[in-house]
Amino acid sequence: MRMYGPYAETTPGSQTGWIDDRRRPIPDHLRMMLGHLDGEENLTYVIWRAPNPERHFVRHSDIGDTFIQAAGSASAMTVEVKQLGEDGKAHLYTVGKPQPTGDTTVLVPINRERAVRIFENELFTADEAAEIFTAFHGADRVPDSCTLRELDLSTDLSEKR
Name, in order, each residue with C-beta under 8 angstroms of 153's C-beta and a sequence gap of 6 or more. 92
Residue 79 falls inside a structural domain: yes
Cβ atoms of residues 137 and 30 within 8 Å? yes
How much is the pLDDT for 62? Answer: 73
Per-residue pLDDT of the chain (161 residues; tens, 9 = 90+): 556 778 999 999 999 999 988 889 999 999 999 999 999 999 999 999 987 766 777 776 777 789 999 999 999 999 999 998 889 999 999 999 988 777 899 999 999 999 999 999 999 999 999 999 999 998 999 999 999 999 988 888 888 88
In-domain check, residue 100: yes
Number of independent structural domains in the chain: 1
Residue 75 maps to a domain: yes
| Residue 153 lies in domain | 7-160
Residue 2 included in any domain: no
pLDDT given at position 158: 84
Task: Specify if 1 maps to a domain.
Answer: no
62 in a domain, yes or no? yes
Residue 119 within a domain: yes
Residues listed for the chain = 161
Kindly write down the DSSP assignment for every residue of the chain, as one continuous string. Answer: -----SEEEE-TTS-EEE--SSSS-HHHHHHHHHHT-BSSS--EEEEEE-S-TTSS---GGG--S-EEEEEEETTEEEEEEEEE-TTSSEEEEEEE-SS---S-EEEEESSSSEEEEEEGGG-B-HHHHHHHHHHHTTTSS--TTSEEEE--TTS--EEE-
Report the alpha-carbon distance of residue 55 to residue 17 in Å, rounded: 11
| pLDDT given at position 30 | 98
